[in-house]
Amino acid sequence: IISGWFSEISPMWPGEAHSLKVEKVLFQGKSDYQDVMVFQSSTYGKVLILDGVIQLTERDECAYQEMITHLPLCSIPNPKKVLVIGGGDGGVLREVARHSSVEQIDICEIDKMVVDVSKEFFPDVAVGYDDPRVRLHIGDGVAFLKNAPEGTYDAVIVDSSDPIGPAQELFEKPFFASVAKALRPGGVVCTQAESIWLHMHIIEDIVSNCRQIFKGSVNYAWTTVPTYPSGVIGFMLCSTEGPSVDFKHPINPIDTDGNQESRPLKFYNSEIHSAAFCLPSFARKVIQPK
Ligand code: AAT
C-alpha cells in the first residue's frame, strides 16, 4: 500500500497493476501458506488479498462466484454431490446451496485462516458455511482428490488462486486426472482458468491437458470481474465420458427456490450462461482450432 492505494503488482501481469483506494486496513496476518490481508476500499467494499493478489471484493464477488458455480450446476440434471476445491471464503458454497437437488457439499480449502477471516469480515460471503449440507475439510486439494472415492461427485468446482503459490498443482495434468476419477460418468468440472488477455499460454496448456483427460466435452467460458487482472476471468468446463453435457445450453435453470427474494442472484441468468461461451476471435483460434 503506497500513499493510501493498494496496487496489485505481480509477474503474472507484468507492466500493469490495478489499484484500489484504501480507507482502512482491517486485518493483516501470515498463515502457513500465504500473507492474508483485508481492507476497506472506498468504492468496492471490503477486499480480501492473498499474497498481494485480490481474491474478492464485496462489490463484484457475485460475478465470479455465481458464474463458477452455476455454469456447471445448471448444465446437468439434479446435481447431488458437489466438491469445492479452494473457495475458503464460502462464496461458492453459498451459490451451490441455491440448488435444492444438492444433498452433500464437500469443500477442501488449504488455509484455515482464509475461512476464519471470511467469517469475521465477509459475513454475506461466508454465509455459505451455514448450510447444513456443507462439510469442511482443511487440507491440500491435490491430496484430498487423490484419496477421494472414485466416481462419486456430480460436479467439482475448483475455485483456486493463481498458479504461483499453493495452487500451482491445481493447474497441472495429474490434478485434472484425479478430478476426472472422482467424477461420476457424465459428471462436470469447472475450474478457474485465468484471463484471455493475460494468460493465453496457461489457457492453452489447460485446454490441451483437459482434452486428453476429459472424454466428454471441453469448453472455455469467461466473464467480467472488474477487480480481477484485466477485468475478465475464465473457466474451464469439462465433462467425463458418459451422458453427454452441452454446457452452452443450460438444462437445469435455477428455480424460484434458488433465486429467493431474500437473496436474489445478482449476475447469473440463462442468457449470460450461453453468452459466456462466445469467444473473441483471437482466443477462439487457440482454444477451438478448426
Ligand atoms: N472465491 C475467491 C476466489 C479465489 S480464492 C482461492 C482459494 O484457493 C484461496 O482461499 C486459497 O487459500 C485456496 N487454495 C490455494 N491452493 C489450494 C490448494 N492446493 N488446495 C486447496 N485450496 C487452495 C480465487 C481468486 C482468483 C484470483 C484471480 N487473479
| Sign of the CA dihedral running 141, 105, 52, 63 | positive
Dump pLDDT digits (tens) for 80-126. Answer: 999 999 999 999 999 999 999 999 999 999 999 999 999 999 999 99
pTM score, two decimals? Answer: 0.97
Dump pLDDT digits (tens) for 228-245. Answer: 999 999 999 999 999 999
Distance 290 CA to ligand 1 centre (A): 33
Strands 81-86 and 153-159: parallel
75 lines ligand 1 (CB under 6 A): no
57 lines ligand 1 (CB under 6 A): no
Terminal CA-to-CA distance of the chain, rounded, Å? 46
ipTM reported for the complex, 2 dp? 0.98
Residue nearest to atom 7 of ligand 1 (CA): 86
84 lines ligand 1 (CB under 6 A): no
- E-only strand ranges, the chain: 5-7, 19-30, 35-41, 46-50, 53-57, 81-86, 104-109, 134-138, 153-159, 183-192, 218-224, 232-239
Residue nearest to atom 1 of ligand 1 (CA): 87
